[in-house]
C-alpha cells in the first residue's frame, strides 16, 4: 500500500515507535527510524533495544529500514536528518512523532511540590520540545507534496484526558500538550493538503511492560494474575497498523485535527492485532477499569 512512500518515525527504538516503523515497512514504505540508543550508545532510558534492530525489522517486514542516531532535542541533528532524507529520497510522506524517553522520570501520583523538579522539567523537554523541534525541521519537506501525514503519538484520547488526572502534573501536561499540538498543526497543514492527527495506543505491551510483569509475548496473559486489567493490552504493532491504515487512506484528511486511538481506528479500517483481536482500551478503561468492575475484556477486543 505504501510502496514508494517515505516515512520518518522519530522515536522508533522501542515500544509504539518500533511497532509503527515495522508496520509502515510491512506496507512497503522506506522508513527512517531514529532514536538515541544504538548498538554503541545507550540513552538515559537504559533499555537494550536499538534503532539498528528496528531498521532490520522494517526491512524484514518488506520495507526499507534506515537507522539514524538522532537526539531530537538537538536542532542541528534534526536539521541534518531532514537534509539527509531530502538528499536521499527527495520527499517525506509520513512523519510520526513518537519521541519520549521519560519512562524513568515520572513519579506516580505526586503533586508538583513533591515531584522531583529536574525530572519533571526534563520530561517536558523530552515529550514536548522534541516534537516541536522535529516538526519545525521536517514539515517543510512534508508539505512539498500534497497528501502528507503527521502523526503525534501520545497517551490517552482527548476525551479521556480532559477529565482524568494522568499520574502527575508533568506527565499530564506532556501528554495533553501533544494532543493540542496535533490540533494546532492541523490548522497550518490543511492549506498545504496535509493531515495532522494525534494518536494513542491502548495499554501497550511494550518491551518494558512485558519485562516489568515478568512475561513475554507468548505468555503475556499470565500477567493478569498481577494486574487483571492487563487483559485489554495490545502489542505495539496494533498502533503501527493504525498508522499504516491512515497513511494508505486517500481520504485521511477527514481525520485532520482529531484525537484518535488504535482501537477506534481498528473499527473503521478493519485491521487487527497480531492475535486477530481488536482491543479497544479507551472504551474499556472508563467502562470497566475506572468503574471498578471485574476485569473482563469480553466485548472489548
Query: How does DSSP assign 116-158, residue by residue?
Result: -HHHHHHHHIIIIIHHHHHHHHHHHHHTTSTT-EEEEE-SS-H
Model pLDDT for residues 26-40, shown as the tens digit of each residue: 999 999 999 998 888
* Average confidence (pLDDT) over 115-119: 95
Model pLDDT for residues 198-234, shown as the tens digit of each residue: 999 999 999 999 999 999 999 999 999 999 999 999 9
Region of residue 127 (phi > 0: left; psi between -120 and 50: alpha; otherwise: beta): alpha
* Average confidence (pLDDT) over 186-200: 98
Q: Tell me if the pTM is above 0.85.
A: yes
- Radius of gyration over alpha carbons of the chain, in Å? 18
45 — pLDDT class (breaks 50, 70, 90): confident
* Average confidence (pLDDT) over 152-180: 95
96 — pLDDT class (breaks 50, 70, 90): very high
Query: How does DSSP assign 195-249, residue by residue?
Result: EEEEEE-SSB--HHHHHHTT--SSSGGGGGGT-GGGGG-B-HHHHHHHHHHHHH-
Residues facing residue 10 across a β-bridge: 34, 97
Evaluate whether 226 touches 202 at the Cβ level (below 8 Å): no
* Average confidence (pLDDT) over 9-21: 97
Under CATH, to which class is 6-289 assigned?
Answer: alpha beta
* Average confidence (pLDDT) over 140-167: 96
* Average confidence (pLDDT) over 51-56: 97
Where is pLDDT greater, at 49 or 232? Answer: 232
Q: What is the mean pLDDT of the chain?
A: 96
* pLDDT reported for residue 247: 98
Amino acid at each position: 500500500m505504501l510502496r514508494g512512500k517515505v516515512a520518518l518515525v522519530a522515536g522508533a527504538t522501542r515500544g509504539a515507535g518500533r511497532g509503527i516503523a515495522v508496520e509502515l515497512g510491512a506496507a512497503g514504505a522506506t522508513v527512517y527510524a531514529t532514536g538515541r540508543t544504538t548498538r554503541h550508545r545507550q540513552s538515559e532510558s537504559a533499555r537494550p533495544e536499538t534503532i539498528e534492530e528496528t531498521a532490520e525489522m522494517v526491512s524484514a517486514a518488506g520495507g526499507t529500514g534506515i537507522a539514524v542516531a538522532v537526539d531530537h532535542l538537538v536542532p542541528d541533528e534534526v536539521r541534518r536528518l531532514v537534509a539527509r532524507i531530502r538528499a536521499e529520497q527527495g520527499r517525506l510522506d509520513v512523519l510520526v512523532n513518537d519521541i519520549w524517553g521519560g519512562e524513568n522520570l515520572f513519579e506516580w501520583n505526586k503533586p508538583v511540590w513533591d515531584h522531583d523538579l529536574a525530572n519533571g522539567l526534563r520530561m517536558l523537554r523530552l515529550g514536548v520540545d522534541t516534537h516541536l523541534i522535529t516538526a519545525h525541521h521536517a514539515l517543510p519537506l512534508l508539505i512539498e507534496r500534497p497528501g502528507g501525514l503527521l502523526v503525534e503519538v501520545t497517551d490517552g484520547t482527548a476525551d479521556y484526558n480532559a477529565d482524568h488526572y494522568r499520574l502527575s502534573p508533568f506527565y499530564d501536561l506532556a501528554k495533553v500538550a501533544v494532543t493540542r499540538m496535533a490540533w494546532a498543526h492541523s490548522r497550518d497543514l490543511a492549506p498545504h493538503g496535509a493531515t495532522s492527527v494525534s494518536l494513542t495506543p491502548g495499554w501497550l505491551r511494550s518491551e518494558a511492560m512485558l519485562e516489568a510483569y515478568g512475561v513475554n509475548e507468548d505468555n503475556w496473559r499470565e500477567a493478569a494474575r498481577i494486574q487483571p486489567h492487563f487483559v485489554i493490552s495490545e502489542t505495539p504493532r496494533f498502533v503501527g497498523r493504525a498508522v499504516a491504515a491512515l497513511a494508505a487512506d486517500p481520504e485521511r484528511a477527514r481525520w485532520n485535527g482529531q484525537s484518535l486511538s488504535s482501537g477506534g481506528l481498528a473499527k473503521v479500517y478493519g485491521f487487527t492485532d497480531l492475535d486477530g483481536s481488536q482491543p479497544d482500551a479507551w472504551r474499556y478503561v472508563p467502562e470497566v477499569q475506572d468503574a471498578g468492575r471485574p476485569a473482563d475484556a469480553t466485548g472489548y477486543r
